[in-house]
Amino acid sequence: MISRQLVETFFSAFSIERWNDKLRPIPMIQMDKHAHKMIIAWCLGKYEEDKGTVIEWQQIIEGGIFELLRRIVISDIQSPVYRELMKNEQLIKKLDYMVFKDIENQFVDDETKRRFHDYLLKPDFLSPMSKKILDAASKYSSYWEFNIIKNANPEGYGIQDIEIQMGNDIESYNDLEGIRKLKKKHSIKNFVDMCGELRYQIRWGHLPRIPHTSVLGHSLLVAIIGYMLTTQIDGYGRKRLYNNFFTGVFHDIPEVLTRDIIKPVKHSVPGMQEEIKRIEARLTEQEIYPHLEKEWVPEIKYYTENEFVPRINDGQVVAADDISKRYNEDKFNPADGTLMKAADDLAAFLEAFSSIKYGVSSHELIRSMVSIRKIYENRVISGVDIGSIFESFGEPVAA
């Protein structure tokens, strides 16, 4: 089980603003930036895999998740200051220990807590390649943001210096095939740009809500919750963890074309949801897949088509409990669609719950909370007690 406190800590990344010393045409939110980083990390990792390099995907996933926790705790330290602090290794070690102590009691799983500790305090937790991919993805996603900032502050103080510094940072990762392709404006850059545009799309856009959450940031939250739930499954395999996490990351990618269509509209007319899925599949085939390396397309399809169905191999549908009983091996390529649907619903529940907690409520938000909570009452999926997670949030507050 994932604790309510830890879920809310992750959710707090939606309230952390970046570049807040510059004029910003849109809010720059930490959760959105981190989601974009993990998409870029996937692309960089896939290019290195194509070259024959063994990529330790669990390290990349955990490195991304644990670094987000770290950034949440130290969010008040701005980048120029942090860059200077990094030169003092002893001070950084003390800071990282403080981060661990701040978060440790939020973990209910001792193994995940130990790995978080090791990520912060053991330099060899990540392999050199895993660290390079994550660092390069972080630098590039920051540079992607900077290009928006630069257009709004063309003559702003320090803009030219920041551009030179960030360009030099990215240049240092030129040995990564993916970075070279992004710099040369290869078609993969179009994919990365399209994914980045999901941060412009606000969920629940028809309702007043605090904080606003983007489709891009929501996707990472789903992926993180999915990761945490998967680690509670006895004997989970690496491929299962990988598939569940990246199902979360990519499951809403078609919405860059269709926009976020709320559930009441999808369910308003019989057959509407199925027709929307068909339209999504067609548009994705036409507008998104051509920008990916063709060898990657089947994997992205696995994460965007029937994403909430328990499946193995190339999409064969199976019973949710059968994955643990019969298919819990990497050779079956298992993906817990039902569990990831619960992660998606928990993320939506949090979006409503948090707004109500902050004092911005409505009958629609309350109704959504009640209906989601009812679905998972006393429910166990793949041996994971999902119902108790929702119960930990208490009764909904009346609007």
Is 181 inside a domain boundary? Answer: yes
Is 210 inside a domain boundary? Answer: no
Domains: count for the chain: 2
pLDDT digits (tens, 9 = 90+) for 336-377: 999 999 999 999 999 999 999 999 999 999 999 999 999 999
Angle at 319 between CA 313 and CA 321, to 5 degrees: 105
pLDDT digits (tens, 9 = 90+) for 93-133: 999 999 999 999 999 999 999 999 999 999 999 999 999 99
* Residues 249 and 158 both lie in one domain: no
* Residues 243 and 160 both lie in one domain: no
CATH number, domain of 30, equals: 1.10.3210.10
* Residues 228 and 327 both lie in one domain: yes
**What's the pLDDT at 277?**
76
* Residues 278 and 136 both lie in one domain: no
Is 165 inside a domain boundary? Answer: yes
* Residues 165 and 226 both lie in one domain: no
Q: In the listed set 138, 161, 192, which residue is the last one of a domain according to the structure?
A: 192
Q: What is the pTM of this model?
A: 0.94
Quickly count: other Cβ atoms within 10 Å of residue 364's Cβ: 16
Backbone angles phi, psi at 312, to 5 degrees: -140, 170
Is 247 inside a domain boundary? Answer: yes
* Residues 92 and 237 both lie in one domain: no
* Residues 182 and 249 both lie in one domain: no
Task: For residue 280, give its domain range.
Answer: 215-391
* Residues 77 and 137 both lie in one domain: yes
* Residues 174 and 234 both lie in one domain: no
* Residues 240 and 153 both lie in one domain: no
Is 288 inside a domain boundary? Answer: yes
Token pair recorded at residue 339: 């569990």
380-381 and 311-312 beta bridge pairing: unpaired
Residue with tokens 């220990």: 97
